[in-house]
Amino acid sequence: MQMEILETILLYLPVIGLLALVQLALMIFAIVHAVTHQNFRIGNLTIWIIVIIVINLLGPILYFIIGRGEAEEESDEHT
């Protein structure tokens, strides 16, 4: 019985590891984006950092869907 459980864990370990790496990369990218782009549709930086870290995979996705503000456009006025 224990051997079957161990074999099952070893079978799914690469998939779990890949998902963990994707989750970590998405979390880091969301935190870096939130810190460098200080405009948000809803909330502020502190709230979004907490959401990104605490809600793991769903937090960064929520940030990019509803939290990320539009980038400020630079004016192209050349006089």
**Residue 74 belongs to some domain of the structure:** no
**Residue 23 belongs to some domain of the structure:** yes
Q: Where are the alpha helices (DSSP H) in 37-67?
A: 45-54, 58-62
For residue 22, what are the domain limits? 13-67
Which pLDDT value is given to residue 17? Answer: 93
Which pLDDT value is given to residue 23? Answer: 93
DSSP class of 67: I
For all residues of the chain together, what is the average pLDDT? 85
**Residue 36 belongs to some domain of the structure:** yes
- Strand residues in the chain grouped as ranges (E): none
Please, what is the Cα angle at 76 between 43 and 70, to 5 degrees? Answer: 15
- Residue pLDDT, tens place only, 14-51: 999 999 999 999 999 999 999 998 888 888 899 999 99
Which pLDDT value is given to residue 74? Answer: 46
